Structure 1
Amino acid sequence: MTDEATPAAHESLAAFAPPAPDPEAALSIRGLYKTFGQKRAVDGISLDVPTGSFYGLVGPNGAGKTTTLSMATGLLKPDAGAVTVHGIDVWADPLTAKAQIGVLADGARLFDRLTGEQLVVYAGLLSGMDRPTAVSRTADLLRLLDLQEAAGTLVVDYSAGMTKKIALACAMVHAPKLLVLDEPFESVDPVSAANIRDILGGFVRGGGTVIVSSHVMDLVQRMCDHVAVISNGQVVASGTVDEVRAGADLEDRFVELVGGRRVQEGPEWLQHS
């Protein structure tokens, strides 16, 4: 597959004019499309993330979550549609928009031959801040994330939980208004996950907005105040967590919305009674 839409797909989207994004939203997505070869990974997604919310983005594997977040944060160019961050067009004014965003991408490679301290300082310098400010903020983040003792250790030698936390520090060092975190709790031990949840909760209480993509429905139900369910590149439900789960457990509601559940006990050779 290529990273380009087919000519026919481009023609069908050429005249598409999405409605205007919401300038009051932390993130506003309108009519977002992305095609890889013959597969439409994102199929006209529109979504508003309220400022100051803790927003969960959930969906089965291959639903289009990562592709949507990549386009929303300026990492992947959409075939059609519009994205604004606090009213700033991500693709018309990418530098200004990206200054508002902190991104923790799932599976993103870090410069892991740097120490944890060097990596976060480097992220601060890349965002345009002066070295004294970057060094000061890095010290604050390492203390907050309980990484002070590992500050001089190469990131390649970090555990999975430590790596997630140092990547989060890199996403936060430039004081973004919006954090976009793709599977931030994957491969993270319970203690590190609890610490990260506390930090993100504090960020939201301080006026920030968090978008988190996760497969763990119980975590999303407990942590988020809003949620969107994506399936086959489309939003099938969105709103507050209570609105989306409609009186049911979020996991049960999720399975109901996306389908695919197969109730089976397994083959006879797995039975031992």
Structure 2
Amino acid sequence: MGSKGEPVISIRDLKISFGTKQVLKGVNLDVFKGQIIGYIGPNGAGKSTTVKIMLGLVEGYTGSVSILGNDLSSGNMEYKRKIGYVPEVAEIYDNLTAREYLTFIGELYGLSCDETDEKAEKLMAYFGIEEVYDVRISSYSKGMKQKVMLISSLLHNPDILFLDEPLSGLDANSVMVVKEILAQLAAQGKTIFYSSHIMEVVEKISNRIILLHNGEIAVDGTFKELKERNLEGSLEEIFNQLTGFNKHEAIARDFVAAVQEEQP
């Protein structure tokens, strides 16, 4: 579970509403160094909102959020230098080349242009995409764009990494490489907050799984602990038990029947 000690993320009674809908209903959470948190939940459960609050992108919540000992309400944004983020839908500057984009990001984090350039090119090479370093990002495949986003989130060697569907668009070999990178970062005491709909991956890489359901934490523990609570099967099956979603077979059956209907 990673070494304990002071939590790197501490959340107390976190609540937020958008209009009349209460999205988070009192989330309490302590996260420690070296943990890979699999943060899961149905769409609309409040996963992205929680992450955006921690990133300082969403305000208007009640309760307290502290990251690396820094209370977000203090307005001190210094902690942002120590976190990395890969959003689900990347706002990436398509008309730039990877060299231009990555050196720009590096400079935002206070790295020198040359230092970033050298590191970025090296990381592109490890991902097997160095030949497009000076090509406009607009011509990249989804997987190549995803690799550039991963590199941009790690350039400044952050202490906490927030990843939203980070494997989306990657081929099988790259998925293996990224999973191993995350495991090695965690082993060095980095904290990884990993949000995904692909339960099979969450089950394999996380050492702690947090399920958000209806704006509250429904489950928090290792996959083994989830099993011990008499929740059987894969993480996907456990997820369906806990969120009460058991209609997949009926929906699929009706869908297939409609596909196969003969037109009169």
Which category of TM-score, normalised to the shorter sequence, fits these structures? 0.7 to 0.9
Which residue pairs with 2:82 in the alignment? 100
How many residue pairs get matched?
Answer: 251
Task: Supply the distance in 1 between the matched residues of 2:134 and 2:160 (Cα, whole angstroms).
Answer: 29
Contact 1:100 1:178 in 2 (8 A): yes
Q: 1:230 to 1:111 in 2, by over 3 A?
A: same
Task: Supply the distance in 2 between the matched residues of 1:60 and 1:121 (Cα, whole angstroms).
Answer: 36
Q: 1:100 to 1:87 in 2, by over 3 A?
A: same
1:162 has 2:147 as partner: no
Structure 1 regions of 5+ residues with no counterpart? 1-21
Q: How much does 1:269 deviate? A: 5.1
Q: Percent identity?
A: 30
1:90 has 2:77 as partner: no
Q: How much does 1:79 deviate? A: 1.6
Task: Supply the distance in 1 between the matched residues of 2:130 and 2:245 (Cα, whole angstroms).
Answer: 45
2:217 to 235, 239, 263: 235
Contact 1:180 1:210 in 2 (8 A): yes
Task: Supply the distance in 1 between the matched residues of 2:129 and 2:70 (Cα, whole angstroms).
Answer: 34
Alignment of 1:91-240 (within 5 A): 91-240=73-222
Q: How much does 1:207 deviate? A: 2.2
Contact 1:89 1:97 in 2 (8 A): no
**Ranges of 4+ aligned residues in structure 1 off by more than 4 Å:** 267-272
Task: Supply the distance in 2 between the matched residues of 1:33 and 1:200 (Cα, whole angstroms).
Answer: 30
Deviation string 1:59-107 (CA, Å, 9 cap, x unpaired) is 1111111111110111111421222222222342542211111011111
1:261 has 2:246 as partner: yes
Q: 1:37 to 1:152 in 2, by over 3 A?
A: same
* Secondary structure of residue in 2 paired with 1:62: coil
Which residue pairs with 2:38 in the alignment? 56
Contact 2:90 2:149 in 1 (8 A): no
Task: Supply the distance in 2 between the matched residues of 1:156 and 1:245 (Cα, whole angstroms).
Answer: 44
Contact 1:29 1:72 in 2 (8 A): no
Q: How much does 1:260 deviate? A: 2.2
Deviation string 1:160-201 (CA, Å, 9 cap, x unpaired) is 111111011111111100000011122333233222212222
- TM-score, normalised to structure 1's length? 0.85
* Secondary structure of residue in 2 paired with 1:266: helix
Task: Supply the distance in 1 between the matched residues of 2:54 and 2:235 (Cα, whole angstroms).
Answer: 25
Structure 2 regions of 5+ residues with no counterpart? none
Contact 1:42 1:64 in 2 (8 A): yes
- TM-score, normalised to structure 2's length? 0.88
